[in-house]
Chain A
Amino acid sequence: DTEVTQTPKHLVMGMTNKKSLKCEQHMGHRAMYWYKQKAKKPPELMFVYSYEKLSINESVPSRFSPECPNSSLLNLHLHALQPEDSALYLCASSQGSSGRRETQYFGPGTRLLVL
């Protein structure tokens, strides 16, 4: 099974709201990723967790706050977002073994609209 699940599928929020995106995988993967994808563009890496520790933060604004409660779960907490943050947010996971050229498996994404 190579499934990564994400909830919710769609989310509409105001600029003063707080919401969270959730991602789950049960493949035993130890690396998990958040990407942001705008229309007609490739995904842009936001965060990487490796063995439940944040290993890469691609200069993402603090209104995005990632959390990795355990090896299967990844959250993205959202607060005071701007309309330009509207996008498809993708979660991915990979085995996480260092020194190997990893395959990433993607979830279906959460389509976020900020009003």
Chain B
Amino acid sequence: GNSVTQMEGPVTLSEEAFLTINCTYTATGYPSLFWYVQYPGEGLQLLLKATKADDKGSNKGFEATYRKETTSFHLEKGSVQVSDSAVYFCALSDQAGNQFYFGTGTSLTVIP
């Protein structure tokens, strides 16, 4: 079946530090992969996505590359800000398209 395994949190970083949040997946066929961000008290916002192998999604300084050989979609940012403090969810949409599979979420706190 389909599943997403996400790095355990919480993660605490100092401002301007480098961020990596690991995400690996199990899926049949060719899923699409997503990162969503949830700020405190809010809904989920699409951060970036990739729809095929070797695609790189990017937005707001965040990047993730769809690696089929390692079934991974790790989220990276070169220099985090306090405003990046949130919960990050990795997710996949399977080839049939109507179901999402979420990782458990990783809470990030950035301290000044």
Contacts and interface: CB of A to CB of B under 8 A. Distances in A.
Nearest to B93: A101
Contacts of B41: 111
Interface residues of B, number: 28
B8 to A, nearest CB: 12
17 contacts: A40-B105, A42-B105, A43-B44, A45-B100, A56-B98, A56-B99, A94-B97, A99-B95, A101-B32, A103-B32, A103-B46, A103-B49, A104-B100, A105-B46, A106-B43, A106-B46, A109-B43
Contacts of A105: 46
Contacts of B22: none
A101 B31 contact: yes
Contacts of A65: none
A2 B31 CA distance: 22
Interface of B: 30-32, 34, 36, 41-46, 49, 51, 87, 89, 93-100, 102-105, 107
Contacts of A50: 98
A43 B93 contact: no
Interface residues of A, number: 31
A98 interface: yes
Contacts of A90: 43-44
Given A41-B105, A42-B104, A102 B98 contact: yes
B27 to A, nearest CB: 10
B107 A40 contact: yes
A81 interface: no
Interface string A84-101: 000010101010111111
